Amino acid sequence: MTQTFEPLSTTREERGKEIADKVGQIQKVDDNSYKVKSQSGKGFYEVKATKDGMTCSCPDFAKRGLPCKHILATRFYLEIQQLTPKGIVTEKIHLTYAQAWSAYNAAQTEEIKIFDALLKDLVKAIPEPEQTMGRPRLSIHESLFCSIQKVYSQLSSRRAHSLFQNAVEKKQIDHAPHFNAPSKLLNNPTVTPILHELVTLSALPVAGLETDFAIDSTGFRTTTFNEYCGMKHGQKKAHRWIKAHMATGVKTNIVTSIKITAENGPDSPQFKPLVNDTAKNFDIREISADRAYSSRDNLDAVGAIDGVAYIPFKKNATGKTLGSPLWKKMFHYFQLNRDEFMEHYHKRSNVESTNAAIKRKFGETLKSKNAVAQVNELLAKIIASNLTVVIHEMYENGIEPSFLRV
């Protein structure tokens, strides 16, 4: 158990403490669900612990989306607290949430079979280029299918060829290309915008589930190394990296937009393009990001689409407008309502979970040798990850995937 000190200040906290102090006001339903008696009349409100925090069935929580007195009362009920000169001493008790194991198990056991079927539908959303002369070339649909399937499998080119043959038997593709065909496709710079488009399309099935988003960057290691001249002057031999800047939904962990830069690429300039790309297909209510993205332009970019950006201010920041009234408004909100602000900001941890899940499942090392192929391979990883998210949501929320823009 850990101990923390915190003041008892706001009205909702005071009312929550009053509810928790009265006998019989809170009833445990199961390990992650509690009934809290209404103070204004008969009946109870239900407080649940989920992976995204605690929720309540009361109108206050539905309107604000922030902890109500019933959630605060449950927290007091679950935590051993004492009043000291420093404030309230809290010994926190770990609160678990229920995993929808039946949906999770079904999604995991059926993933490979459903993945190929979804991938077939996804690549068909890309127009097949018309060929007017020359030898017949490989279908772009089949080439994309095999390249993304290979990246998903994490197999070598030769070993992955059996997957292409299986796809022919299942009538997912008409012809199994040479085992080198996926590598040739990933080395083609004209494929990069197509893969970006597939990232966008692969996120469309969960557009109705996501309104809150988070933005962050993460590095992927390559198999290439730094220059010899660097080692000659005392630098150790080290892998080169490329940097992925991503916007993700905080509920499903879907990647809605991605920008790829060199390993030292700055974070803040990528924020606005990521927001604008996401806004084309999703209704954005709020976006959270860390201090690296704190700027007037970034706040205004989210405000322009009627969303709210929860980005903590740097220590030397001031509330001066400098052409951005929204900056001044959010600065004072951050100063005067820090706890409420941070409730929103902490949704940012979901993008870190997304980054970790992608690396854990598809590897953090890119196998391709040249820069173009490395970017394309990384985009293929993101597409594969998005399809696994869609499969999970098929079982969790009963969605029917469609990769066509509405």
Name the more confident of 190 and 87. Answer: 190
Residues 6+ apart with CB under 8 A from 92: 1, 2, 4, 79
- State residue 290's pLDDT score: 94
Is 185 a domain residue? no
Is 142 a domain residue? no
Query: Could you tell me what percent of the chain has a pLDDT over 70?
Result: 86
Looking at the fold, whether 73 and 199 belong to one and the same domain comes out as no
HEC string for 65-121: CCCCHHHHHHHHHHCEEEEECCEEEEECCCCCCCCCHHHHHHHHHHHHHHHHHHHHH
Looking at the fold, whether 77 and 209 belong to one and the same domain comes out as no
Per-residue pLDDT tens over the stretch 297-334:
999 999 999 999 999 999 999 999 999 999 999 999 99
**Rounded Cα–Cα distance for residues 377 and 186 (Å):** 7
Decide which of 91, 117, 151 is a domain's last residue: 91
pTM of the model: 0.76
**Rounded Cα–Cα distance for residues 220 and 260 (Å):** 10
User: At residue 4, does pLDDT exceed 50?
Assistant: no
Decide which of 91, 125, 150 is a domain's last residue: 91
* Average pLDDT, integer, range 231-257: 85
- State residue 3's pLDDT score: 43
Residue 249: give its domain's CATH number: 3.30.420.10
Is 140 a domain residue? no
Looking at the fold, whether 244 and 364 belong to one and the same domain comes out as yes
* Average pLDDT, integer, range 2-10: 44
Asked whether 319 and 327 are in contact (CB, 8 A), the reply is: yes
Is 304 a domain residue? yes
Number of domains in the chain: 2
Encode burial over 314-345: b for 16+ CB neighbours within 10 A, e otherwise. eeeeeeeeeebebbeebbeebeeeeebbebbb
Give the domain extent around 211: 192-396
DSSP string, 155-168: --HHHHHHHHHHHH
- State residue 97's pLDDT score: 52
* Average pLDDT, integer, range 39-59: 80
Asked whether 146 and 164 are in contact (CB, 8 A), the reply is: yes
Asked whether 384 and 257 are in contact (CB, 8 A), the reply is: no
Among 364, 365, 373, CA closest to 191: 373
48 strand-pairing partners = 33, 55
Per-residue pLDDT tens over the stretch 126-180:
988 776 665 656 788 999 999 999 999 999 989 999 999 999 999 999 888 899 9
Asked whether 382 and 375 are in contact (CB, 8 A), the reply is: no
Is 274 a domain residue? yes
Is 154 a domain residue? no
Decide which of 48, 67, 91 is a domain's last residue: 91
Looking at the fold, whether 85 and 207 belong to one and the same domain comes out as no
- State residue 227's pLDDT score: 61
Asked whether 214 and 346 are in contact (CB, 8 A), the reply is: no
- Helices 11-21 and 69-78: crossing angle in degrees, nearest 10, is 50
Per-residue pLDDT tens over the stretch 285-305:
999 999 999 999 999 999 999
Per-residue pLDDT tens over the stretch 106-118:
888 999 999 999 9
Return the SS3 of 42: coil
Looking at the fold, whether 215 and 345 belong to one and the same domain comes out as yes
Is 166 a domain residue? no
Is 156 a domain residue? no
Query: Could you tell me what percent of the chain has a pLDDT over 90?
Result: 56
Asked whether 312 and 345 are in contact (CB, 8 A), the reply is: yes
- State residue 343's pLDDT score: 85
- State residue 89's pLDDT score: 55
